[in-house]
Structure 1
Amino acid sequence: MTALQRVAPARAEGVRGGPPAGPVARGADPVLLDGVRARLARHGPQPTDADVTEAVRSAGAVLGSRALAELGAAVRAEVLGAGPLQPLLDDPHVTDVLVNAPDQVWVEREGRLERSAVDLGTPEQVRDLAVRLAAAGGQRLDDASPSVDARLPDGARLHAVLPPVAGGCTLISLRTLRRQAFTLDELVRAGSVAPGLVPVLRALVAERANFLVTGATGTGKTTLLSALLSLVAPDQRIVCIEESGELAPDHPHVVRLLARAANIDGAGAVGLADLVRQALRMRPDRIVLGECRGAEVRDVLTALNTGHEGGCATLHANTAADVPARLEALAALAGMGRESVAAQAASALDAVVHLRRDGPRRHIAEVAVVRRDHAGELVVETAVDVTPGGLPVRGAGWEALARRLGA
Structure 2
Amino acid sequence: MQHNFAILKQRVFLDVIDRIDAAGLLRRPLPEARAGVSTALKDVLARNRQTVSDVEFARLLDDICDDMLGFGPLERFLVRDDIADIMVNGFDNIFIEVNGRVEKTDVAFRDDEHLMNVCQRIVSLVGRRVDESSPICDARLKDGSRVNVVIPPLAIDGPVLTIRRFTKQRLTLDDMVGLGTLSQPMADLLKVVSRSRCNILVSGGTGSGKTTLLNALTGWIAVEERVVTCEDTAELQLQQPHVVRMETRPSNTEGLGEVTMFQLVRNCLRMRPDRIIVGEVRGPETLDLLQAMNTGHDGSMGTLHANSPDEALSRIEAMVMMGYGNLTSEVIHRLITASVNIVVQIERFRDGTRKITSISETVGLKDGRTVLRDLMRFEFDAGDDEDDAISGSHCTVFDGKPSIYQQARKHGEHRRLMQALADGRANPDETA
TM-score for both structures, normalised by structure 1: 0.85
Matched, 1:387 2:379: yes
**Counterpart among 165, 181, 184 of residue 176 in structure 1:** 165
Contact 1:211-1:311 at 8 Å conserved across structures: yes
Change in CA separation of 1:276 and 1:79 when aligned onto 2, cut-off 3 Å? farther
Matched, 1:348 2:339: yes
How many residues align? The count is 384
**Residue in structure 1 matched with residue 24 of structure 2 by the alignment:** 39
Matches within 5 A, 1:216-227: 216-227=205-216
Amino acid in the other structure paired with 1:246: E
Amino acid in the other structure paired with 1:297: T
Contact 1:149-1:160 at 8 Å conserved across structures: yes
Equivalent-residue separation in structure 2 for 1:260 and 1:155 (angstroms): 14
Amino acid in the other structure paired with 1:240: T
Equivalent-residue separation in structure 1 for 2:289 and 2:354 (angstroms): 27
**Residue in structure 2 matched with residue 49 of structure 1 by the alignment:** 30
Amino acid in the other structure paired with 1:56: V
Contact 1:385-1:394 at 8 Å conserved across structures: yes
Contact 1:373-1:379 at 8 Å conserved across structures: yes
1:82-133 per-position Cα deviation (integer Å, ceiling 9, x unaligned): 2210111211111111111222111111111111111111122222222221
Deviates more, 1:206-215 or 1:247-256: 247-256
1:269-311 per-position Cα deviation (integer Å, ceiling 9, x unaligned): 0011111122223332321100111111122112222211111
Shift of 1:335: 1.2
**Counterpart among 235, 245, 248 of residue 246 in structure 1:** 235
Amino acid in the other structure paired with 1:106: F
Q: Which runs of 5+ in 1 are unaligned?
A: 10-24
Contact 2:115-2:159 at 8 Å conserved across structures: yes
Matches within 5 A, 1:78-89: 78-89=67-78
Change in CA separation of 1:379 and 1:8 when aligned onto 2, cut-off 3 Å? farther
Contact 1:355-1:366 at 8 Å conserved across structures: yes
**Counterpart among 342, 353, 368 of residue 376 in structure 1:** 368
Equivalent-residue separation in structure 2 for 1:313 and 1:136 (angstroms): 29
**Counterpart among 401, 404, 414 of residue 401 in structure 1:** 404
Larger radius of gyration: 2
Equivalent-residue separation in structure 2 for 1:340 and 1:176 (angstroms): 38
Equivalent-residue separation in structure 1 for 2:367 and 2:347 (angstroms): 30
**Residue in structure 2 matched with residue 212 of structure 1 by the alignment:** 201
Amino acid in the other structure paired with 1:384: M
**Counterpart among 119, 124, 128 of residue 139 in structure 1:** 128
**Residue in structure 1 matched with residue 386 of structure 2 by the alignment:** none
Contact 2:230-2:247 at 8 Å conserved across structures: yes
Contact 1:209-1:350 at 8 Å conserved across structures: yes
Change in CA separation of 1:98 and 1:152 when aligned onto 2, cut-off 3 Å? same
Equivalent-residue separation in structure 1 for 2:372 and 2:293 (angstroms): 18
RMSD (Å) for aligned C-alpha atoms = 3.0
SS at match of 1:223: helix
Equivalent-residue separation in structure 1 for 2:278 and 2:354 (angstroms): 21
Contact 1:28-1:75 at 8 Å conserved across structures: no
1:300-327 per-position Cα deviation (integer Å, ceiling 9, x unaligned): 1122222111110011001011122100
Matches within 5 A, 1:164-203: 164-203=153-192
TM-score for both structures, normalised by structure 2: 0.80
SS at match of 2:393: coil
Matched, 1:357 2:341: no
Q: Identity across aligned pairs (percent)?
A: 32
1:201-235 per-position Cα deviation (integer Å, ceiling 9, x unaligned): 00111001111010011110011111111222223
**Residue in structure 1 matched with residue 117 of structure 2 by the alignment:** 128
Change in CA separation of 1:277 and 1:51 when aligned onto 2, cut-off 3 Å? farther
Change in CA separation of 1:331 and 1:48 when aligned onto 2, cut-off 3 Å? farther
